[in-house]
Amino acid sequence: MPDNPYLPCPVRIEQIITETEDRNLKTFKLVFIYKEHEKQFSYIPGQFCELSIPGKGEIPIGIASSPTEQGFLLFTVNKTGVVTRYLHIMKEGDIIGVRGPLGNWYPWEEMEGKNVIIIGGGFAFTTLRSSIVYMLHPDNRSRFKDITVVYGARSPGLLLYREELSEWEKRDDINVHITVDATDDPDWPYNVGFVPTVTEQKITTSENSYALVCGPPIMIKFTQPVLEKVGFTPEQIIMSLEMRMKCGIGICGRCNIGDQYVCKDGPVFSLAKLNELPPEY
Ligand SMILES: Cc1cc2nc3c(=O)[nH]c(=O)nc-3n(C[C@H](O)[C@H](O)[C@H](O)COP(=O)(O)OP(=O)(O)OC[C@H]3O[C@@H](n4cnc5c(N)ncnc54)[C@H](O)[C@@H]3O)c2cc1C
Ligand code: FES
């Protein structure tokens, strides 16, 4: 991060990938304009950035690329309101700002030597994609035991990163369970069912494991008891929160839950930590 934490670094939109059939989710591949900014920018999976568009505003977005991917950053953005709508009409070659990396990350040191279970729903899969790419990198794979992914969306056309999912599906160093709530495709090769149901079928032990869970609140609500049933403790369940934010660096007080700033102490929290906080998230 530059010395002034409020100062965005200019980046060029190198590539825009439309992820979903409804065209509401796009991945933006960004490259730094200045090499010194690229050198200073060092991040860990789980962190986020503030993306800024002059005259429109700034939004927190999780980093979808992995630090093992050099020379660019990826952000996958859902079209919801003022800034995200504007970003969606921008073109390759346009310049925006990036401030970060911000926030904490998944507990990589604690997860060493453990099984890692990734459970994602819908478009909240971005920093989980970063985590999977990071763990599968040859320098990192031996640091973790079994890697299992359960990822679902409402329909096949709403899954993110479909090419990568099918590549991971073919590998033997990761177990991938893709699911959709419903499909009318008779040749759909993966699961049909809600993420909590597929989790119940595929995850049968909590031994020596951590679960990273990101998704819509309803998915989290029904996944949590499934994990608890097989023995996951609140310390073994890790989540990433999305709150409204402004400064992103623990100063303005926009994002606090109790005494925790989601932008600085989070966005990654164990369920054990969340259980200590007021239920405002
Ligand atoms: C740490 C973090 C990581 C995030 N990662 C991603 C990501 O990878 N991809 C992605 O698409 N989005 C992500 N978000 C959510 C994203 O920040 C909001 O969708 C975005 O700020 C909306 O901006 P807007 O100007 O387009 O919408 P606005 O015009 O501000 O609002 C449109 C609608 O979105 C809601 N909204 C606005 N901001 C947020 C917010 N921060 N969280 C939840 N709801 C909000 C508003 O209540 C309103 O209903 C993340 C948020 C956080 C805090
Ligand atoms: S966004 Fe300002 S304190 Fe978190």
**231-258 confidence digits (pLDDT tens):** 999 999 999 998 889 999 999 999 999 9
Closest CA to 178 of 226, 122, 140: 122
Q: Is the pTM of this model over 0.75?
A: yes
Q: How many CB atoms lie within 10 A of CB 43?
A: 20
Cβ pair 277, 240 in contact under 8 A: no
Ligand nearest to the CA of 102: 1
Atom of ligand 2 at shortest distance to CA of 245? 1
Q: What pLDDT score does 80 carry?
A: 95
What is the pLDDT at residue 260?
94
Q: Which ligand places an atom closest to the C-alpha of 62?
A: 1
Mean pLDDT of the chain: 95
- Nearest ligand atom owner, CA of 120: 1
Instruction: For the chain, state the CA radius of gyration.
Output: 18
Beta strand 191-192 with 260-261: parallel, antiparallel or unpaired?
unpaired
**Which atom of ligand 1 is found nearest the CA of 240?**
1
Q: For 141-169, what is each residue's pLDDT tens digit?
A: 999 999 999 999 999 999 999 999 999 99
Residue 66 makes CB contacts below 8 A (sequence gap 6+) with 45, 129, 130, 131, 133, 134, 137
Among 80, 99, 256, the mutation site with the greatest number of ligand 1 atoms within 8 A of its Cβ is 80
Task: pLDDT band for 1, please (50, 70, 90 cuts).
Answer: low
Is residue 79 within 8 A of residue 24, CB to CB? The reply is yes
Nearest-angstrom CA–CA distance, 178 and 192: 8
User: For ligand 1, which residues put their CB under 6 angstroms from it?
Assistant: 48, 57, 59-62, 76-78, 80-84, 123, 126, 242-245, 267
- Judge whether residue 281 has pLDDT over 80: no
